[in-house]
Amino acid sequence: MGYRVVVVGATGNVGREMLNILAERQFPVDELAALASRRSLGTEVSFGDKTLKTKDLDTFDFTGWDMALFAVGSEATKEYAPKAAASGCVVIDNSSLYRYDPDVPLIVPECNPEAVHGYSKKNIIANPNCSTAQMVVALKPLHDRATIKRVVVSTYQSVSGSGKEAMEELWDQTKAVYNPTQDVPAKVYTKEIAFNVIPHIDVFMEDGSTKEEWKMVAETKKIVDPKIKVTATCVRVPVFVGHSEAVNIEFEEFLDEDEARDILRESPGIMVIDKREDGGYVTPKECVGDFATFISRIRQDSTIENGLNLWCVSDNLRKGAALNAVQIAELLGREVLKKG
């Protein structure tokens, strides 16, 4: 006996990836509904070897459905997620709307699976921000061993994190560089993204940080440990898919780089590719389509007493979004609903 599953926002980048991953991981689905906004009604999407036509989110009745994976913006989530939850369908939400709600668990299954039992307060579980998800997968096993005091992270985030229009903007601007008769002004971003980097993701806050940077701080504390100090600089780069992060970690105890490497090799969801030679590391291009979070460049930081540096790369549409949501669904099924 399997689950009746709804994917909300099935025509978007993350929604389509959710359908792919549900099929790839052979999630026990008895029935699946693909929902979209009215303007995308009837659009065909793939689920394994099946083709589904999208249904109207506005008129859909969630009664009798087990779980709904939401891959729409906060505004639509605010309207429809409470309706789904009230009807008895557990919502797994990819937007930022519920991440900081104390009554909603924020889950990365490799880090805090026990938090799934808190879902019942609102019948909603939150999926973390893409840049946070891959980082905490690496931090948690190291924190368990040597207790992390402080993290300094700089991100190199791909344009797919901003959606289809951003990917098209990068493509069109790149072509325009080689065809000077074309002019493709920045629309999605504040400046041209082709052959450029933009140190600005989400809106600016009063202290000069951006909302994306604030998310990494708040979410790491909620998922791993509220005592960890985090400072982040989030940068958009001209890469289509795959987020990269340079992470500096300060521990309470000394942790040797070789032991850290061994710990990460044994940790769930992580692939260590760390050879001190040309090409002995992973770049975003190589992580696309993979489930793992890749760790490279593990080395001691000699400027502080107990410090390590590492390089962290992951497919942001997968571990950063769709894969983590499906893993939460698997966890929910295994620990709570127990049907599949």
Alpha-carbon distance 85 to 105, whole Å?
Answer: 14
Average confidence score pLDDT of the chain: 96
pTM, entire model: 0.95
Taking only the tens place, the pLDDT of each residue in 28-38 is 999 999 999 88
Q: Of these residues, 143, 243, 287, 312, which one is catalytic?
A: 243
Domain ranges of the chain: 3-127+321-336, 131-158+197-314
- The answer to whether the beta carbons of residues 147 and 234 sit under 8 Å apart is no
* Catalytic status, residue 234: no
- The answer to whether the beta carbons of residues 136 and 316 sit under 8 Å apart is no
Q: Is 11 annotated as a binding residue?
A: yes
* Catalytic status, residue 243: yes
Taking only the tens place, the pLDDT of each residue in 257-315 is 999 999 999 999 999 999 999 999 999 999 999 999 999 999 999 999 999 999 999 99
Taking only the tens place, the pLDDT of each residue in 196-230 is 999 999 999 999 999 999 999 999 999 999 999 99
CATH 3.40.350.10 assigned to 131-158+197-314: no
Q: Is 180 annotated as a binding residue?
A: yes
Q: Is 162 annotated as a binding residue?
A: no
| Residue closest to 324 by CA, chosen among 121, 110, 117, 91 | 110
CATH of domain 3-127+321-336: 3.40.50.720
Q: Where are the beta strands (DSSP E) in the chain?
A: 3-8, 29-36, 44-47, 50-53, 55-56, 67-70, 90-93, 124-126, 148-157, 229-236, 243-251, 270-272, 293-300, 307-314
Q: Is 99 annotated as a binding residue?
A: yes
Q: Of these residues, 130, 234, 287, 312, which one is catalytic?
A: 130
User: What's the pLDDT at 293?
Assistant: 98
Alpha-carbon distance 132 to 319, whole Å?
Answer: 10
